[in-house]
Amino acid sequence: MIPEILSLIALLATLAVLPRLVLARNAADCILAVQLAGTGTVAILLLLGAAEAARVMFDIALVFAALAAVAGIAFVALGRRNA
């Protein structure tokens, strides 16, 4: 019961990032919003995996964590190229 409640809280926190992503004034705001959304997604998947005892959720969370790291590197590389 507690992991499901924590997953819901993490989902709400992740959804709270979406307005910042849409209304971002500069690239730094966009990078931080995407990184926070990625972190929230990983947290949700880990909590749901623990609640359901589903090992596949841990694997999916690992993939999302790797994708979030690559997205952060890509944003920085694009920012340097455009600057």
40-to-4, 14, 52, 80, 81 alpha-carbon distances in Å: 14, 5, 18, 27, 28
pLDDT mean over 59-67 = 94
Domain count of the fold of the chain: 1
pLDDT tier for residue 83 given thresholds of 50, 70 and 90: low
CATH number of the domain to which 32 belongs: 1.10.287
Give the tens place of pLDDT for each residue, 20-55.
Answer: 888 888 878 888 888 888 898 999 999 999 999 899
Nearest to 50 by CA among 63, 35, 39, 61: 61
Whether 19 shows a pLDDT value over 90: the answer reads no
- Residue-range definition of the domain harbouring residue 42: 2-82
